[in-house]
Chain A
Amino acid sequence: MSILSRISAITFKEFKQLSRDRLTFGMVVMIPLIQLLLFGYAINTNVRNIPAGLLDEAQTFQSRSITQAVLATQVVDFTVSYQSVKAAEQSITDGEVRAVLMLPRDLDQRIVANQNNEATGNLTRQALGQWIVDGSDTIVAGAIRSLRGMPLNELSPGNALPPPPTFEVALYFNPEQRTAVNIVPGLLAIILTMTMILFTSTAIVRERERGNLELLITTPVHSLELMLGKIIPYILIGLIQMTIILGLGRLVFNVPIIGELTQIVLVTMLFIAASLTLGLIISTIAQTQLQAMQMTVFILLPSILLSGFMFPYEGMPKAAQWISEALPTTHFIRMIRGVVLRGASIENLHSDALFLILFTVIGLLIATLKFKKRLD
């Protein structure tokens, strides 16, 4: 009974303090709100309207049709035309355009030759033009490369049928290929990582800095009670943030929420618990709030870059994958995307769930052992 009384005393006090700290309270709501709107609109891996240049040496009806066909894909936007290769290359170096389409003087002959080869069954084909691309940004380069084999039906109205594709691709869960669908659940993971770790890591350090801890440790409060009492309010805050992000994601970005609500809450609670214990461990190491913040950022960056939020896990080298596996965020991103987008349940994702549970239990143990009720 007295254990519950002590835990609830700390929780209640924490709520009271939080309700008086307007800025922090505002951040609880504003961080997910603003970041979701910002990143939901801003992050888009479907690259469109890349500024490009045109070097049309042919200047024929055919060359203009090809240019129109390329424009119609919306991948590029021709903003400049050049008279020489040199000028075109300089333009890429200057960063004026990302790519240049060069259509050679003998374009018409190449088309005729290709058509003749086709008629006689000769398999040789000549490329009609060339793209020069600033390949340093792989996403932009990839978008231009997708134009490599684009069909040009306009040039040969006679035989309109394009060759059949080798594979049919059926896109489940996100048929329109909207980036926001993948970003929104991921963003939930990132925002929770940030706020949950930061709040708890500074929560205990703040008491240390203000001298409250010196009083608390002379009372019968047990370390574990102190830790649990401090964690509980933030679980609720985490759930509020979850509601804001997924709710707004559904309303504004039309992200489908296929999974059951109980599953979503369950999975999120597991992650909140893991993140909070991570924050507690930090709080037992850090002596000042600044140190706690630095350590939070140290965890936050790999959580953003290696968790599969920005770049697919599958593309990472082995060593990076190990680091990624050690981050709670990675497991949560897998689970929340699974539950929200694919309607998976926690049983289907039990290995990730197990990791978060183990992480929480071991973390809480470490934090409790590391937190000494002493000043030395």
Chain B
Amino acid sequence: MEIAIQASGLTRKFGSLTAVDKLDLNIPKGAIYGFLGPNGSGKTTCIRLLTGLLSANAGTIEVLGLSLPRETEKLRRLIGYMTQKFSLYDDLTIEENLRFIARIYGINGHRQKARIENLLAVYNLEEKRRQLARSLSGGQKQRLALAAATIHEPRLLFLDEPTSAVDPENRRDFWEKLFDLSDSGTTVLVSTHYMDEAERCHRLAILANGIKRADGTPKELMDSLDATVVEISGDGLRQLKQALIKNPDIISAAQQGVRLRTLIRKSVSDPVTWLQQQTELQLHNRDLRVVRPSLEDVFVTSTGNFQQ
């Protein structure tokens, strides 16, 4: 397996706050690799460290075989970066923005024209080509940003919460484009706080408070979950939840419609029977069922974010 990004002991502090803490990363080439974490977990800082926008306090980084920060300038031609906030020019049209970025990367003449036409077609922006970027919708802006970030056909693409301002349908389309890029050999590193997006990644790391809590394929993460998931149905779920989370063997309980999704520690061998034996909960006439863990369960157990 070829490695696109390798980092070890990566640490970055802002004053007394440690935004990224001794992070080790091994990201394979061609993969879509996800950073999943709540706001403030260090996702953006991590991406900025890996693109050379920030310098690390400690640790080593090697991206596409180039060592940072020494070879940052060399790396710039090989990577594309889509910032969290739309960072193209609001007062330029789609076409002008793309032309500007193309020229910055030294793509001129026929090649530029062909490349821009191709991107406009791929990202479905042909009709809006003469429209100012400020008048575009969230989804259009995001597609424009992705087009600009890939104009020079980078080998590695960084996407910082690319879909935060986009509706679900556009999000699905967007991920189709990412898979296309991945198929053509581009490594994609994407940060997100959406579970459904994280589940689409080939591999992902779960970050919380700057620390990597879990790393692997979504399936691996779900299989290795250190808890059993039991769904409880019936009435009065709010009160039941309050009673459940007092028990130290129960990691969390979250209401999902008419069911209460309860995470119970693996140390409890037969969780359904065990639950029914907790007489104070009065669960005998409720429906209890063990279900397959989801990525959200992994996220909740590994980030310690128990409040649902």
Contact = CB atoms under 8 A, between A and B. Distances in A.
Interface of A: 1-2, 5-6, 8-10, 12-13, 16-17, 20-21, 210-221, 373-376
B89 A13 contact: yes
B81 interface: yes
Interface stretch (B31-39, B51-59, B230-238): B51-59
A373 B74 CA distance: 13
A5 B91 CA distance: 21
Q: How large is the interface on B (under 10, 10 to 19, 20 to 34, 35 or more residues)?
A: 20 to 34
Contacts of B91: 16-17, 20-21
Given A17-B89, A214-B87, A5 B106 contact: yes
A352 to B, nearest CB: 38
A244 B104 CA distance: 34
A261 B48 CA distance: 51
A2 B111 CA distance: 14
B11 to A, nearest CB: 13
B166 interface: no
A211 B92 contact: no
Interface string B93-122: 000100111011110100000000000000
A219 B53 CA distance: 11
B92 A374 contact: no
A16 B106 contact: no
B103 A220 contact: no
B101 to A, nearest CB: 7
Contact of A218 (B79, B90, B96, B108): B79
Given A12-B100, A13-B96, A375-B48, 11 more contacts: A9-B99, A13-B92, A16-B96, A211-B86, A211-B87, A214-B87, A215-B88, A219-B105, A374-B54, A374-B55, A375-B53
12 contacts: A6-B106, A8-B103, A10-B104, A16-B92, A17-B89, A20-B132, A214-B85, A214-B87, A215-B83, A216-B104, A218-B81, A375-B48
Nearest to A2: B106
A237 to B, nearest CB: 17
A212 B92 contact: no
Interface string B66-88: 00000011001101010101111
A10 B89 CA distance: 12
Contacts of B100: 9, 12-13
B104 A212 contact: no
Nearest to B108: A5
B53 A214 contact: yes
Given A17-B91, A375-B54, A220 B83 contact: no
Given A8-B103, A20-B91, A212-B87, A220 B54 contact: no
Contacts of B103: 5-6, 8-9, 12
Count chain B CB atoms within 10 A of each CB in A1, A6, A215, A219 and give the residue with the most.
A215
B105 A214 contact: no
Contacts of A215: 81, 83, 87-88, 148
Interface string B130-163: 0010000000000000001000000000000000
B180 to A, nearest CB: 22
Contact of A220 (B87, B104, B132): B104
A111 B297 CA distance: 113
A220 B92 CA distance: 21
Given A212-B89, A218-B76, A9 B53 contact: no
A295 B96 CA distance: 33
A212 to B, nearest CB: 5
Contacts of A12: 100, 103
B48 A220 contact: no
B305 to A, nearest CB: 27
A215 B148 CA distance: 10
Contacts of B79: 218
Nearest to A8: B103
A301 B148 CA distance: 43
A133 to B, nearest CB: 58
9 A-B pairs with the lowest CB-CB distances in the bound complex, closest first: A9-B103, A215-B87, A2-B106, A218-B81, A211-B87, A211-B85, A220-B76, A219-B104, A13-B100
Contacts of B90: 210
Given A21-B91, A212-B88, A212-B89, A217 B108 contact: no
Given A8-B103, A17-B92, A212-B88, A220 B81 contact: no
Contacts of B105: 219-220
A356 B286 CA distance: 86
Contacts of A16: 91-92, 96
B166 to A, nearest CB: 17
Contact of B101 (A1, A214, A219): A219
Nearest to A226: B104
Contacts of A218: 51-53, 76, 79, 81
Given A9-B100, A218-B76, A376 B92 contact: no
Contacts of B88: 212, 215
Contacts of A10: 104
A358 B52 CA distance: 33
A340 B161 CA distance: 59
Count chain A CB atoms within 10 A of each CB in B72, B87, B100 and give the residue with the most.
B87
A20 B133 CA distance: 13
A16 B89 CA distance: 11
